[in-house]
Structure 1
Amino acid sequence: MSSSYFLPRMKRELEILEHDPPPGVVCYPVDGSFTRFCAQIKGPKDTPYEDGMFKVDVQIPARYPMEPPRMQFITPIYHPNVDDVGRICLDILKMPPNGSWKPSLNISTTLTSLCILMADPNPDDPLLVEIASEFKENRSLFLQKAKEATLKHAMENKDSGDRSNQ
């Protein structure tokens, strides 16, 4: 990360995350590094994730912002666009032509998009086809399973079920 552009950009991004974070999101560097962040996302209101706290690992690649950050849920979440190891299917986390990452985006806007995805899953571009089918065809069962997973893994008053502890 020898780019003279990287450090000033990351300092600006950290200021945004500290002073004007996305609603319901806390994001901070891990071990004082500008290459790894921990985000905590409060489950969006009126969703099965409400009242849950979801940890997301954010890794900044050497070519950032020319390529997107890598994000992965640490807290298990029952969602059609997140697989069982926390990988996320979100267009702005991928480079064109398959994705829509642009260097003008930043960590804050990417985390905002992730919050929107949590509240409004995209079953037409799933990572887990069976959960996407359930979301489309049996919404009440999907909501029940998502709420159960949130209660089991993402509630603040107990062990969050982090994969890092498993």
Structure 2
Amino acid sequence: MSTSARTRLIRDFETLQYDPPGGITGGPCDNNLMLWNSSIFNPDFTPWHGGMRLTLKFSEDYSYKTPSIQFISKMFHPNIYEDGRIYLGIIESTWTPVYDVAAILTTIQSMLCDPSPYSPANREAARMFIENKWEYDRKVRDIIARSFTADRSCNN
């Protein structure tokens, strides 16, 4: 691993340990600094309050390149593919090396409650979000309630 990527990931980890944004946790899996597990919790009044788990895979080019991000928890969201990958246009379109892991996770946390349904990764979720928000929220709550405990390990 490059020294700059390693140094940056250690700094990002320390930030998350000592000054985490509300509702966000994360860190390296086992002794692999290039693979992280994270959890995002949103406020109780949102359909996303049950908590979601995701992995971040970093390349040697981090922080000049975004990590690969995938939800472990089952998701139903306009900007998240059925396999858990995030439509990264939201993050990549504004990416700068100034962003750290906390900023990435905070952006995702915000995206959960404020999706972009007009450039969807999941067309069914986008359609439901636009046409029947109540039903969309109900489906999200149901999926989140069942999926948080049925996740995979760091070995993805």
TM above 0.5: yes
Q: Name the structure 2 match of 1:47.
A: 46
Alignment of 1:81 with 2:79, yes or no, is yes
Per-residue CA shift, 1:52-81, capped at 9, x if unaligned?
A: 121110111111111101111000121111
Alignment of 1:28 with 2:27, yes or no, is yes
Q: How many residues align?
A: 154
Question: Higher relative contact order by CA 8 Å / sep ≥ 6: 1 or 2?
Answer: 2
Per the TM alignment, residue 163 of structure 1 is displaced from its structure 2 partner at its CA by: 5.2
Alignment of 1:127 with 2:116, yes or no, is no
Contact map agreement 2:52 2:71 (CA 8 A) in 1:
yes
Contact map agreement 2:73 2:144 (CA 8 A) in 1:
no
Q: Name the structure 2 match of 1:72.
A: 70
Distance 1:133 1:148 in 2: 18
Distance 1:22 1:125 in 2: 27
Matches within 5 A, 1:104-115: 104-115=98-109
Task: Choose the corresponding residue for 2:136, options 136, 142, 145.
Answer: 142
Among the aligned pairs, what percent are the same residue?
A: 31
User: What SS class does the counterpart of residue 35 from structure 1 fall into?
Assistant: strand
Distance 1:92 1:34, change over 3 A: farther
C-alpha RMSD of matched pairs (Å): 1.7
Q: Which letter does structure 1 place at the counterpart of 2:26? A: C
Runs of 4+ in 1 over 2 A off after TM superposition: 90-94
Per-residue CA shift, 1:95-154, capped at 9, x if unaligned?
A: xxxx22111111110000000011212112210112101101111111111111112212
